Every structure is written in structure tokens, then in C-alpha cells.
Chain A
Amino acid sequence: MSSLEQLKLSKIIWNASTGSQEKKVALPFLQASIDKALQGGLAQYGLLNFHTYSGSGELSFLSSVIKAARQEGQYIALINPPGQPNTHWFQRDICSSDYLFCVHSSENSQNLWAFEQCIMSGVCAVVLAWNLTATSQQLRRCHVKATQHGCKAIWFSSPNTQQSAIQTPCSEQLALYKKEQQWYLDVLKQQGGWPQMGIQINNPMPISNNVINRTLHASVLSTAINH
């Protein structure tokens, strides 16, 4: 048996033609260039491996996907997030904080266990994990469980620890980065499609001075009126 066949048998690689049939419901980014490259968006269930630095607007970028994946009453789990979630921000951009919970263990193994439990619970629509380390087997296990239990698992990893596309069993592998004032998205791997590099995307700054001046002006004005 050839090594290619062995890889196919272990489901590390697959034929693009067979994969496209499995992707029945897509979670769109609502950006034409990305949705076109991903044939409508991300797979509804499974593991997304997302390479980016914390604070590069990654959650804002994924907000449309998360909102599309979540139904009323379903939870969003944050495993080992970089800081404490700001409920104001989540309320405005993702969902009510009533449907949000965090796992912040000091041990990687415990975080990984919690990641798997949340995926398998059938309670969480989306499970997001930051900066965890896992073997290919562990990732594959999470991917399979996410597919079986109807969950979108999102695995954030730093671009410095980028594994090769073959080493990471997942439904999609994306990389978000900025180059000369322009944001790009690389589709390193997708089930049922070809990789595509350097997709120009829109990832705006969350604050601009125009807004700041306006809010400052408003607050100063209101303070003045109150006094």
C-alpha cells in the first residue's frame, strides 16, 4: 500500500471531490472573497484551526460565523482565553453573557479535557480554545467528536507554532495576518476544497479617533449639563 493510501485511510488527507459533498451547511463570513474561497463558508461542525495572534481582531472577524453556528439557548465555551472576557463586548458582538462560560485551568491537560467535554456535551454550539498544545491524535479526536456531536470547535494557535496542514486534522485551517497595512487570510486547508493564499480581507480597527472625539464630546457635554 502506498503512503498516500495510508494517509487517506487514516483520514489525514482526503479527495477534494468527496469532501465537498460532506459540507452541507456552511457558516458564512459575510465577506465575498472569503466565502468564495471557502465555498460558502466554514463547515457547520468540526474543528477550525486558526493561526493568529491574540488581539488581531480574530473574534470580531469570526463573529458572523459564531452567530450563525449558535442557536437560541446554546452556549459558547471559552477555554483558556487570553484574559477575562468583557461581557459588554460579547453582549454587543456575539451573545448574551448568560450563555458564555470560561475554563481557565493552569494545566494544559485540564484545559484540553475541558475542551473535549464541552464539545461532547451537546450544550455548546461553539467551543473556542486559545494557546493549548495537543498532539495530532488529540486534535483529530476533538475534530471527530465535534463532527459527531454537532459542535464548531475553534482552536486558536500562534503563527509561531504553526503546524503543517497534514499534521493538523481539522475541517479548516486558516491563517490571519497583516502585511503592509493590508490584512490577508490564507486558507491553508479546507475539507472539500483547495488551499488558497493571500485573500485580501477587511479587518477594520475597533476604534477610530473620530468616534473617540465624538464620545468624549458627548460625555463632557453631559457632565457639563449635569453640573
Chain B
Amino acid sequence: MWLGLYFPALLIPKEVSVPLVVYHAPQNQVIQCNLAASKFGIEIGMGLASASALCAQLEVLTYSAEKERLRLTHILYQLYKLNGDICLESSCELLIRCDRHDYYYGSKQIHLRVLLDALNKHNTPFYYATANTPEQACVLAKARVNRLFSKELVLTALYDLNITQLQLSLKTQQQLQRVGVHSVKALLALPIEELAGRFSQDTIKYLYAIKGLSNLGRVFYQPKTFFTECIELPFEMENQEHLLRWARALLDLLQSYLRSRNQATQEITFTFIDSEKCSYPLVLQASLAQYLSHDWAATLALKLEKTTFSNPIRSIQLECHNSLDISPSSNDFFSNQRTHAIDVHKLFDTLSTRLEDNAFHPPNNPFFTLSEHWPADAATPAFMLTKPIRLVSKGRIVAGPQRLQTQWWCTPLKRDYFLLETPQAERLWVYRNTSVNSASPTWYFQGWFS
């Protein structure tokens, strides 16, 4: 048993209430229109001039098969979680093989109801029909019958259709009409063996499939091994809160994707595309793999605060190429240490995302370069300058000198370190550069004895 689904208005945005049509320029035809446009008398198949004549305020979108397929893929992805035997028939048609999954739902009726409920939640108009072969399901769904047929009634339903509703080439249709075959009933009444000499092999195979005698092979949908989704915004946006709300929808899809695979990720990439088609990629990273949308949304909010867009944003894309399996053995519900470790990573991620580069870091030991020439137990200051500066403060030498001198195989360096106390009682680490060739030593300041 196959369920055919036809989506006639995938490119019509749900939120728009003004009269709107989707125009296919090569055919010079309106191929999709919303309810507001229909009220003005606009119909599918009209030319743009006729449609514009009927409604002066008509909004026109250009047809894009790629965008239509992308929208359909979003729906497909939702259905894939309910039934894995699903194929993308065209940019506006889906086919689902039901019989193999009926067992898991208890009955065929419940299974179909679950699928249709999921589709209704998506709030995109669609037509459906069940049939014995995918070809029959496609034809009946496209004929907008909206019925779940039993095996016996499928052919009866097909008999009511015209041959123009079958997926036959225009030439074949004309050939059939010339010999007086107009309805599917008349066509299927003819012995197919007799038609074999007059029509192509593909047509004959198709007719066998329509009759339910054979089944043309279908390739079922295989989810990608990485996540990529794109949202076309209903209007151009600049407000970060609005952008975040739409980005959150993508993150919810990512969460669903990762959760169904028991995976998490450490890096995702958002690409914001503005009205001038400029892209702004934002790479979000987490030191601990995570999948929850609100965790990533918090990181994105911090990143967006620092980002400025030259033009309003038109679409948002989210990609995740590397995801890791979550090991169940590592999830100890009763371990406080794990919670602490997560908090540490969250803090570090928050700081590194919001602050400018290199503002947050573990301590880089500035003493490292000197330490190999220095006695291990020698006193050194708590804070040091990475690059010593000329000493300008006045003070008195309290302790020193303590000499640092490199060996003959290193770069020549000879310094006498002192502890200097300023009139404010600051204890500074200063040195006198007594270079081998230097006659008059210069004083430098290098640290604080805090």
C-alpha cells in the first residue's frame, strides 16, 4: 500500500495574507496562488498579464524548483521519523510505502492517521490518496481525491480520471485522443499487449504500473550524514531578537536531527545571507559536545551581539558536519563532578564567545622563557609583563641584585634583577640590562610582587 502526497502551494508563505502568486516565467503561467488571489478570480495556468489585470495589488514570486524541493525536504524530514520508506517523487510530490510499517502502529488506519496528523501540523496545503502502486498513488493524489482507498476501489477511482491526468507525454496523450481514448477507464480497457507495438517501452511499463500489474522501482530517501537546513525569512530582518527566533527554529531541527541519532556536536555554522546576497558565516563552538537547541541559542545570542550586518537578512542557513555519538556509559545521573565539568565548559564557552579574541585565556607563563636560566627557588613576582618596559617610577632598591645570565650557547643575555619599592610601597621587579657590550645600563620594569 502506498500513500501519495501532492503539495500544490509549497512556495506560498503561510504568513502572507495579501494576494500572491508564484509565476513560472518559461511557461508564462501562474503555477501557485494563495486564497486571497483566488478570491480575485486568479487561477492556476493563467498568464501573468491576465492575473495582474484581475488584481492590481498582486504580489508575484518567481518559481524556483530548488526552493520548492527544499521546502518539501523539510516536510519529508518530519515524516521520515514516522516512516522510513519515503521517496521524493518530484519537487512537489512524496510517496510513502505504508504496508511494512502498519505492524508498528497496530493497524493501517492508525498509521495513516498519524502520518496525516503530522502533515496537518505543518500547515501546508496538501492532497493525498492511497493506492496499490506508487504510480496510482501519485495520479490519485495529484487528482486531489483526498481518500484512503481499499485495494479493490483503487481502479474504480482511476477510471473516473481523464488521460491528461496521467503522467504520459503530450505526444502519447494526443495519439490516444485521436483514436477516441479520453478516459483512463477506456485506456485501461484496451489490452496493453496491443498497445506495445504503438507506444514506447516506458509508456507500456507505466501503463502496467497504473493497472497495478507491476511496480516501477523507487529509491527511498536516505538522510544525509551531515545536517544542513536553510530558512527563507518571510521578510527582511535586522532585529537580532527576530533573527534569533528564526535561528531557533533551525536549532530545533538540529536538536531533533541529533537526538534521533543519539549524537551531539561541538561546532555548528550559521550563515546569514543579506538582501545583497552577502554571506555572514558565524561559527559557534562548544568545548563540550551538546545538542540542545537552547544551549546553542545562548551561544548564538552572544555571537550576534558582536555581529553587525550591512544589510537586512533574507535567509539563514545552519550546517553541522561533525557530530559525535553520545556514550550512554558517560552519563552518570548521580555524579556532581559531571555537572561541575559541564558548568566549567559552559562558562568557558560563554566567555570565549562574547569576549574579543585572546581576551579569555588560561595563564600563559611569561616566566617560561626565563625559567631555564633561573634558580628554581628564586623569588619571582606574581604578575609579569610579557614585554618589559622602561622604568619611570622612582623608588629605593630593597633587594638584589639577582643575576640572570645565559650560557655561552644561548643568545647573550645578562641581567641584574632588583626589588624596587616605590613611595606608595609598590614592590616592583626591575632589572638592569648589563649587556656585555653596554657601558651604561638601562633600567626596565617587568613585574609586580602582588
Q: Which residues of A come within 8 Å of B, CB atoms? A: 53-60, 73, 75, 78, 81-90, 93, 97, 100-106, 110, 113-114, 117-118, 121-124, 177-178, 183, 205-209, 211-212, 215-216, 218-219
Contact = CB atoms under 8 A, between A and B. Distances in A.
Nearest to A121: B347
B402 to A, nearest CB: 5
Contacts of B386: 83-84
Given A90-B382, A110-B355, A183-B425, 20 more contacts: A56-B425, A60-B449, A82-B450, A83-B384, A83-B385, A84-B386, A85-B363, A86-B382, A86-B383, A87-B367, A88-B371, A97-B362, A101-B348, A102-B360, A104-B361, A106-B356, A117-B351, A123-B347, A124-B347, A206-B379
A54 B450 contact: yes
7 interchain residue pairs of minimum CB distance: A55-B448, A83-B383, A178-B425, A55-B426, A121-B347, A59-B450, A105-B359
B363 A121 contact: no
A138 B344 CA distance: 24
Nearest to A59: B450
A177 B425 contact: yes
A97 B427 contact: no
A82 B379 CA distance: 19
Contacts of B356: 105-106, 110
B441 interface: no
Interface in B347-378: 347-348, 350-351, 354-356, 358-367, 371, 375, 377-378
Main secondary structure of the interface of B (DSSP, over half): mixed
A216 B416 CA distance: 12
Most A C-beta atoms less than 10 A away, residue of B337, B346, B351, B401: B351
Contact of B344 (A84, A87, A123, A205): A123
A205 B377 contact: no
A183 B361 CA distance: 34
Contacts of B364: 84
Interface in B384-438: 384-386, 398-403, 419, 424-428
Nearest to B362: A101
Nearest to B378: A215
Contacts of A59: 382, 450
Contacts of A83: 366, 383-386, 447-448
B99 interface: no
B360 A114 contact: yes
B399 A101 contact: no
A57 B362 contact: no
Nearest to A87: B365
A151 B335 CA distance: 22
A209 B399 contact: yes
Contact of A121 (B343, B378, B381, B402): B343
Contacts of A56: 424-427, 450
B380 interface: yes
A211 B379 CA distance: 9
Contacts of B358: 104
A186 to B, nearest CB: 14
B347 A118 contact: yes
B81 interface: no
Contacts of B363: 78, 84-85, 87, 90, 97, 100-102
Contacts of B381: 55, 86, 89, 206
B383 A54 contact: yes
B340 interface: yes
A78 B363 CA distance: 9
Given A57-B427, A216-B403, A97 B365 contact: yes
A100 B362 contact: yes
Nearest to B402: A212
A219 B373 CA distance: 10
A106 to B, nearest CB: 7
A29 B375 CA distance: 30
A41 B424 CA distance: 26
B213 to A, nearest CB: 69
Most B C-beta atoms less than 10 A away, residue of A75, A78, A177: A75
Nearest to B379: A207
Contacts of B427: 55-57, 205-206
Contacts of B350: 117
A178 B421 CA distance: 11
A103 B351 contact: yes
Nearest to A75: B344
B355 A207 contact: no
Contact of B343 (A86, A114, A122): A122
Contacts of A82: 383, 448, 450
A126 to B, nearest CB: 14
Nearest to A209: B399
Contacts of A88: 365, 367, 371, 380
